[in-house]
Amino acid sequence: MPTRIFLLRHAETSQPHIFHGAESDIGLSDRGVRQAAAVASLLAAERPRAVVSSAMRRAVDTALPIARACGVAHHLEPDLHERRVGALTGMPFRDNEVWPDTVARWSRGETGYAPPGAESFDDIRNRVLPVWQRLAETFAGQTLVIVAHGIVCKVLLLSIVPNHSVNDWQRLGPIHNVGVSELVRDNQWSLVRFNQLPEVRGIQEEW
């Protein structure tokens, strides 16, 4: 049996328009709670063996409804935490040049670059890839759900999917809250679906 992993970003936070790195352990908004419930219903049909998340509150609050809906255990992996963003913490997504400049440098191959106090692409990859590899071996031949963070999901996808690299950062676009990517490994990983939102009447229109 192939190994199947459903990788997704946590649901919307209570302050969704500012940067929340590893420095900010914020919870979900009311809409985020509804998103978590919607994606739980979607993933329950996949019958995973377990649900794994980072230890950050927004990931845990997304993962627990999924684990309950699936009737499986929830495990914490603290090294799946969001990127450390340093001075960007609490800053709005718009009207700053730090993040666009960082992404531009990564896309040019400067994957070791990071502003003071923040993690580089290489830092994130070196932190999360061993966790991914260990979980893939632990749950080999089974189905697993992993709830992480937008940047973590993107770094993992660009690191493990064949013919993808950091040069594809801009092309992939942002990872949506509860956007599900399905990866299947036979001889190598293949990306079966990418960043897919649950199709739930009255909910998806909000997203």
Whole-angstrom distance, CA of residue 207 vs CA of residue 35 = 9
Of the residues 20, 82, 119, 149, only one is catalytic, namely 82
- The yes-or-no answer on residue 82 being catalytic is yes
- Nearby residues of 140 by Cβ (< 8 Å), 6 or more positions away: 3
- The yes-or-no answer on residue 182 being catalytic is no
Beta-bridge partners for 185: 3, 189
- Extract the runs of DSSP E, i.e. beta strands, from the chain: 3-9, 50-53, 74-76, 143-148, 180-185, 189-196
Q: What count of residues does the chain have?
A: 207
Crossing angle, helix 30-44 and helix 57-70, to 10 degrees? 40
Residue from 41, 35, 7 nearest 145 by CA: 7
The runs of H, that is alpha helices, within 19-97 are: 30-44, 57-70
Q: Which residues are catalytic?
A: 10, 82
